Structure 1
């Protein structure tokens, strides 16, 4: 535990990727095998279930620090991180035994079933016996992940340095549904066991947003274009007469999409498809808002299956006849994919179709096709080199995404909240409203979106100073402010929603620019927003 806390301190104290990778590699060379497994799990978002809710943690910490809860809450909102706040306000008052990372995490797993009093005794005793950084790390295990700038790719790179195993091989080994409580380092990393790979997906190949104009990519004859579908990226794996469905987030979601089991009759063993799970009500592509009704459900009811059926829109073939064909040029993989999928498309009862690839004569033709994206329920175009292999992770050169320009609307700042991390002293999380014209003479601002990115540091500081001088009411960490400032808000998608006061849900809202040239009377209305719904 002490060594892991020291590792987190090292990772948190630098922005240099090389320093972080070297620190992790050293840890993987020196830590015990069980601690290595748990470190891989924690840094790939496989932390144990939360044994204590944060309300209790705040109460216990304020009690131990001998400060009122309201003062602890104010401190928390200034610091911006609960684990860091607890590490600061609680003091080390007794010597603690040094336990391994594995032992600490196993104790936390068992703690979930204990009574509240037993939980309090264990947690507070740990806090008292740990130093500042150990206390921070221990509390992080309970509250959530570490924001230390370590992606799974960097972690895999460090593990490769420590073990001498190729990064791509490690990326494949670490995919899947392994359990840090039961698997050993030997089984997870060092041992070659083909039986373990039955359900494993391949690491996903991810595209970068295009950096310049598309014509910088050269001859159009070298490229395929296809629409960028707005669903859930997934791999469907057919091995040993079994089906496994993996999302891009490395979550096994087979049971959430039972309609895909019909594909076992039509897709041969030794096949892995890459594609997009799309909502498909009334035999047409639905909205992502439709798909959200299926996401997160542990059980999918028959009525939901009928209301929001899904299909897989396939766009790549990664394994064929039991062989890994990712090194094969994309154009050849597509020929195999089409020979497999096209005969199935005519049967409406089979939940699969094919993402069309297009070869166009000029980049202006590509631009014209991109302009049709919203009509086709897509986010823009994917540009893929015909000779490209299927690589691991996000790589530049062969695959690019060329999304349509976002929707935009001018909205009024109505609420503000302090940010997190380095912005914890500033009000940087904002809520925006649009005019709802209830009559010819009366209109009110109705909340429609929240955003916390898009301004410069100087603009954040300027707006923070204004917010502090123009607060109308306080609701804990949130302040309502005088309606005065207008901002252009950009977002990727829009749909009707009964869960929002405005009646509309937007996807990925962010601030495009501060419209200091506009008064609030010139901001858009709710009806303007609804006109953008396809």
Structure 2
């Protein structure tokens, strides 16, 4: 399969909004494309291809050799996406007769090339491709694919194409490397199901539905059938120890082992554990105290993990569940039995850096509601309710597990800056930086940025917001537009934490836009003091 065929797939995915339609496109593609290219494309869509030498800066330097830098800068500012800009502006050399590369050729040559050879490779390929092909190539080699397809969706399409469950695909996925030839042979009925043997593979996680008012009576009527735990404010992880090694996976199946080396250091057990990764410090009585999520953020997305960082932000895992023990799969057992096995396993193994998430005794839903009200002050996200007889089922099965999160916080903030989005939003100003008022030290008021949000609004609201941004622009700074300080947004968020990385001194957890406050003058938006009073652990909040 040529890069141009992959480009056609990407274009269709970008302009196909519906999930079912995207699945149909992917199923047809798996059926029509040959090996190994279809496996290479699948790896690209699922984020499994990484070319460290093919950075966006390399591509930008290449096009700057052929295009006036000012024209390039203005074009990128207008288009908003580097790959799309280069695809449209690239001036081809005359007399180039080489055929476009296949996906497998691109991968093979990039893997064998030295860092110094990579720019000329990319240049040669760009000269053989049309604009759609150039766009796909740049997205492929820089790992910047944003076409509305998650890794889970791609695996779902693969499973549907073969008439399998996505869980079956997930459980062999990490035992086979791209281009996944053994998986395709199995799915086409040409070979047995790949056996990961002793490889530390990811098992799809069981997820919970939010507890709504309509669901509460089922819990209230029979509280003895339910088990309650705290919903800790960290990141959900799966720890796998096997004869083939140890791994730590995120909830989406991403290998995060290298980011937290101390968690896996010294592990020699054979089991699969479900838990929450947290920053935990020693309390005054020697107990483990969970730090706010802001502390954990200091460890996320770091390429280099220093000993100092590990000491400042010590992480551990609070365990929820035991999925496998040795060769035995425990997921079909009811929750109570798995909990008993987990407690017995933990007492026997005593894994370093881990502890058990305690269960909470309760007599009624009202009792739990009172406990939930104190969750924010303790840096806890809320509560989990799990039916005592529930098996561990992959995905989000309603009626077995409920999550009862604390209510979000909110402020009314003023839009200060806007930036174009990515993928299908690359033509819209959809990322908004907003601020709150504070004293300017001279008797007046000034806006100070406190956060950025790009979700929570409808497609119709996005169109309105984009038009408003364009009509009220006061300055341009590369891809960013400064706007008149007139538009108020109600922003909701999960928590506020002190932060030295932000000019305002505070950071929001998961901010999103609840509504556009066209009715509210900007002068009546909230002050920074209001947000500071919401910081976890602050005296104002505790009061």
What band does the TM-score fall into relative to the shorter chain?
Answer: 0.7 to 0.9
Greater shift in the superposed pair: 306-315 or 25-34: 25-34
Residues 1:27 and 2:32 are matched in the alignment: no
The question of whether the paired residues in 1 share the 8 Å contact of 2:495 and 2:534 is answered with no
Change (3 A) 1:69 1:184: farther
TM-score (norm 2): 0.85
* Aligned with 1:353 (options 352, 355, 359): 355
How far is 1:288 from its partner?
A: 1.6
Residues 1:271 and 2:276 are matched in the alignment: no
The question of whether the paired residues in 2 share the 8 Å contact of 1:220 and 1:360 is answered with no
Indicate the residue corresponding to 2:230 in structure 1. Answer: 227
The question of whether the paired residues in 2 share the 8 Å contact of 1:48 and 1:109 is answered with no
Q: Distance in 2 between matches of 1:27 and 1:425?
A: 27
Change (3 A) 1:59 1:271: closer
How far is 1:354 from its partner?
A: 1.6
Residues 1:325 and 2:300 are matched in the alignment: no
Indicate the residue corresponding to 1:492 in structure 2. Answer: 494
Residues 1:526 and 2:528 are matched in the alignment: yes
RMSD between aligned residues = 3.2
Q: Distance in 1 between matches of 2:125 and 2:372?
A: 57
Indicate the residue corresponding to 1:127 in structure 2. Answer: 126
SS state at 2:99 partner:
coil
Indicate the residue corresponding to 1:437 in structure 2. Answer: 439
The question of whether the paired residues in 1 share the 8 Å contact of 2:35 and 2:181 is answered with no
Indicate the residue corresponding to 1:180 in structure 2. Answer: 178
How far is 1:315 from its partner?
A: 0.6
Indicate the residue corresponding to 2:481 in structure 1. Answer: 479
Q: Distance in 2 between matches of 1:336 and 1:45?
A: 35
CA deviations on 1:230-250 (whole Å, 9 max, x unpaired) are 112112223339543333343
How far is 1:499 from its partner?
A: 1.2
SS state at 1:97 partner:
coil
Indicate the residue corresponding to 2:241 in structure 1. Answer: 238
How far is 1:180 from its partner?
A: 2.6
How far is 1:343 from its partner?
A: 7.4
Residues 1:412 and 2:414 are matched in the alignment: yes
Indicate the residue corresponding to 2:152 in structure 1. Answer: 153
Indicate the residue corresponding to 2:342 in structure 1. Answer: 337
The question of whether the paired residues in 2 share the 8 Å contact of 1:220 and 1:363 is answered with no
The question of whether the paired residues in 2 share the 8 Å contact of 1:42 and 1:145 is answered with no
The question of whether the paired residues in 1 share the 8 Å contact of 2:410 and 2:493 is answered with yes
How far is 1:506 from its partner?
A: 1.4
How far is 1:516 from its partner?
A: 3.4
The question of whether the paired residues in 1 share the 8 Å contact of 2:200 and 2:244 is answered with no
The question of whether the paired residues in 1 share the 8 Å contact of 2:236 and 2:250 is answered with yes
Residues 1:310 and 2:315 are matched in the alignment: yes
The question of whether the paired residues in 2 share the 8 Å contact of 1:313 and 1:352 is answered with yes
The question of whether the paired residues in 1 share the 8 Å contact of 2:77 and 2:478 is answered with no
Residues 1:375 and 2:374 are matched in the alignment: no
The question of whether the paired residues in 1 share the 8 Å contact of 2:408 and 2:494 is answered with yes
Change (3 A) 1:300 1:392: same
How far is 1:106 from its partner?
A: 1.7
Q: Distance in 1 between matches of 2:40 and 2:48?
A: 9
Greater shift in the superposed pair: 89-98 or 471-480: 89-98
Change (3 A) 1:253 1:53: closer
SS state at 1:280 partner:
strand
How far is 1:298 from its partner?
A: 5.0
Point out where structure 1 has 5 or more consecutive residues left out of the alignment: none
The question of whether the paired residues in 2 share the 8 Å contact of 1:435 and 1:443 is answered with yes
Q: Distance in 2 between matches of 1:55 and 1:228?
A: 41
| Aligned residue runs from structure 1 range 74-223, under 5 A | 74-90=74-90, 94-111=96-113, 113-115=115-117, 119=119, 121-163=120-162, 165-175=164-174, 179-180=177-178, 192=193, 194=195, 196-210=197-211, 212-215=213-216, 217=218, 219-221=221-223, 222-223=225-226
Point out where structure 2 has 5 or more consecutive residues left out of the alignment: 283-287, 537-543
Change (3 A) 1:488 1:36: same
